[in-house]
Amino acid sequence: MFDTLSDRLAATFKSLRGKGRLSEQDIDATCREIRIALLEADVALPAVRQFVAAVKQRSLGAEVSQALNPAQQVVKIVNEELISILGGQTRRIRFAKRPPTVIMLAGLQGSGKTTLAGKLGHWLKGQGHSPLLVAADLQRPNAVTQLQVVGERAGVAVFAPEPGNATGRTPTDGHSGDPIKVARDSLQHARDKMYDVVVVDTAGRLGIDAELMRQAADIRDAVGPDEILFVVDAMIGQDAVATAQAFLDGVGFDGVVLTKLDGDARGGAALSVAQMTGRQVMFASNGEKLDDFDVFHPDRMASRILG
Ligand code: GDP
């Protein structure tokens, strides 16, 4: 992902090389190229506008530097603006003063929440925590079983409703019941068994759905999460921003997790989510294996894009 964007930007900077001084026309032409590169990569238009305006203003006002030639100076400015659009500093999980820390996952179906729950559990374990994954997605057939499989693979405990514990909902994979009760009960279970981080997987639909949004908000109110993470598939293109906004309005979230960064889509929309929602990307997922996951570092991503 982002290969085309990297190539485009590299070509733009190449055309500046060897110039002793950049005229306003040079800077305008460069900004036009950067604008096209970002739009082609699917970055949302308002984010592109803001980005290009900042680069232009800073490039025009850039002091003559002894250390950097004008082309290098523009690259430095673009790098800093990229880091800024990606959220600036690395944002870490805020753990609760009194455990358990509750992390709730929200996002569309297929965005990668259940897979992420396993990865997050695995990662938390590696950090010396004792996580518990909670199956509060009782909507999607097999979601509970999938979380149990993922938990087993990660060596992380899973709290799930008893199979066949029907409370009026249609059983899907033998698990049924009230996801809000499951989420609430999981906290007591975590306290009893000394799990210090609870990761709550919630249901999502293929599109934004008022009932599901309400359910997620009810789960939120029942467990009082320390962190709500909005999980978004970087392959969904421009829909990422609208979806993020809908979840921000419907449930609210504290941080973003980008998934499927290993895909070959342009992915720029996902890069706009932080800027458009004011919430930082905290983790990135780039594959189906447990280890294909890491804390998101805006500076490293900017370096990767700039090649
Ligand atoms: P959920 O509906 O949000 O719980 O999504 P799932 O966790 O079931 O993921 C949907 C699909 O995406 C599954 O086939 C996962 O294996 C796949 N998936 C999840 N994360 C990634 C990722 O980072 N990269 C790739 N290539 N596939 C992923």
User: Per residue in 69-87, pLDDT tens?
Assistant: 888 899 999 999 999 988 8
Which pLDDT score, from 0 to 100, does residue 65 have?
Answer: 73
Torsion of CA 222, 223, 224, 230, to 10 degrees: -100
Please determine, for residue 173, whether its predicted confidence score (pLDDT) is greater than 70: no
CA of 207 to the centre of ligand 1 (A): 16
Q: Whose CA is nearest to atom 16 of ligand 1?
A: 288
Please determine, for residue 214, whether its predicted confidence score (pLDDT) is greater than 70: yes
How many CB atoms neighbour CB 138 within 10 A?
25
CA distance 204 to 302: 31
Q: Which atom of ligand 1 is nearest to the CA of 111?
A: 3
CA of 145 to the centre of ligand 1 (A): 15
Which pLDDT score, from 0 to 100, does residue 175 have?
Answer: 53
pLDDT band at 15 (very low <50, low <70, confident <90, very high): confident
Q: Which atom of ligand 1 is nearest to the CA of 115?
A: 7
Q: Structure tokens of 71?
A: 């082309």
Q: Whose CA is nearest to atom 6 of ligand 1?
A: 112
- Residue at token pair 């932080």: 274
- Residue at token pair 């002894």: 66
User: Per residue in 261-273, pLDDT tens?
Assistant: 998 777 788 788 9
Over the range 280-304, which residues count as b (16 or more CB within 10 Å of their CB) and which as e? bbbbbbbeeebebbeebbbeebbee
173 known ligand binder: no
Strand-by-strand arrangement of the 101-106 sheet: 157-159, 131-136, 197-202, 101-106, 227-233, 255-259, 280-285, 293-295
CA of 116 to the centre of ligand 1 (A): 8
Q: Which atom of ligand 1 is nearest to the CA of 259?
A: 23
In this prediction, the answer to ipTM > 0.95 reads yes
Instruction: Indicate the top mutation candidate among 115, 134, 172, 236 to test ligand 1's pocket, ranked by most ligand atoms within 8 A of CB.
Output: 115
Which pLDDT score, from 0 to 100, does residue 233 have?
Answer: 93
Identity of the amino acid at 219: I
- For all residues of the chain together, what is the average pLDDT? 90
CA distance 294 to 121: 12
CA distance 230 to 283: 10
Whether 176 contacts 170, CB under 8 Å: yes
CA of 144 to the centre of ligand 1 (A): 15
CA distance 23 to 8: 21
Q: List all residues whose CB is within 6 A of at least one atom of ligand 1.
A: 107, 109-115, 204, 259-260, 262, 285-288, 292
Beta strands in the chain (DSSP E): 101-106, 131-136, 157-159, 197-202, 227-233, 255-259, 280-285, 293-295
CA of 247 to the centre of ligand 1 (A): 19
